Amino acid sequence: MFVVRPIARDDLPAVLALSERTGTGLTTLPASRERLAERIDASIASFAREAKREDECYMFVLEDAGTGAGERRVVGISAIEAAVGLDEPWYNYRVGTLVHASRALDVYTAVPTLFLANDHTGHTELATLFVDQAFRQGSNGPLIAKSRFLFMAEFADRFGDKVIAELMPRHPVYVNLLSRSAREAIGAVHADTAPARRMLEQEGFRYEGYVDIFDAGPTVEAFRDNIDAVRRSRVLPVTLEEDDPVPDTHVAGGVRWLVANRRFDDYRAILATAPARIDRFPLKAYAADALGVREGDSVRAVALRPSDR
């Protein structure tokens, strides 16, 4: 079973090993023991409600819980930055147009341009997201990525009204002066990132003309309460079922659900199969143990795929 939980200090070696597999493209997961330790400490302080608003960040790990103690392994990581740009400026580029015109000289030129902007100050950012290559099968990626939406739905007061997913020159960049390969990179994503973009767009995120200042990748955004997994998530009482040898993926008429407990500092999220229409959430005993819930407790849940909601 795979479980999403808050990061802990003793996860540092495993997270460092993950960071060394990401290459150079994931700047929010540096392959530096010291910087990772600082980020983990910041996350622990945030879950303890001890961090300042501008420092709040929540890091989660995807743990392969195995079948017993000693087999647990961290195989993925994700994070939420509660409010960007409150401590130091948070930059991106707005894709726009600069017009040079003169009737007297019979000149009219419209130049596509990148303008430096701080328009997303105070917004919540979906930051780090990485799963070990060997564990990307099935729904592990969506579990670690989308479980953040249930956390934001349950604790909405900790986050901004708008959510986004990614010193600098002060003057606009003239796109026509860039090389063809650089122009084609504006607003594009790496092939490895395309599935993550599709997943976010299925949840209601949209590209609104902002790109990253380092690699020109698109910044997609959505109002927090309009994210489909947030809007359609439900709080349901738990009913326990006996464990059996039949995997829960074979539940008749069942769909995969994201299921999370409702505890802030001891958050847990898993995938479970249940009928598409329910008033109580049926959990096998081992799944309830993974979430730390009992009969009569409540969970927040949403079908994993938007088409099943």
Strands (E), 118-193: 124-131, 162-165, 173-174
Tell me the C-alpha to C-alpha distance, in Å, between residue 244 and each of 44, 68, 109, 251, 283.
36, 17, 70, 12, 12
Residue 161 main-chain phi, psi, to 5 deg: -70, -25
Contact 220, 207 (CB under 8 A): yes
Q: Which of 120, 123, 190, 250 is catalytic?
A: 190
Instruction: Please name which of 120, 38, 127 lies closest in space to residue 85, comparing C-alpha atoms.
Output: 120
Tell me the C-alpha to C-alpha distance, in Å, between residue 172 and each of 9, 107, 112, 177, 266.
42, 21, 10, 12, 45
Residue 190 bears catalytic tag: yes
Instruction: Please name which of 258, 262, 271, 257 lies closest in space to residue 294, comparing C-alpha atoms.
Output: 262
Query: Catalytic residues, which ones?
Result: 190
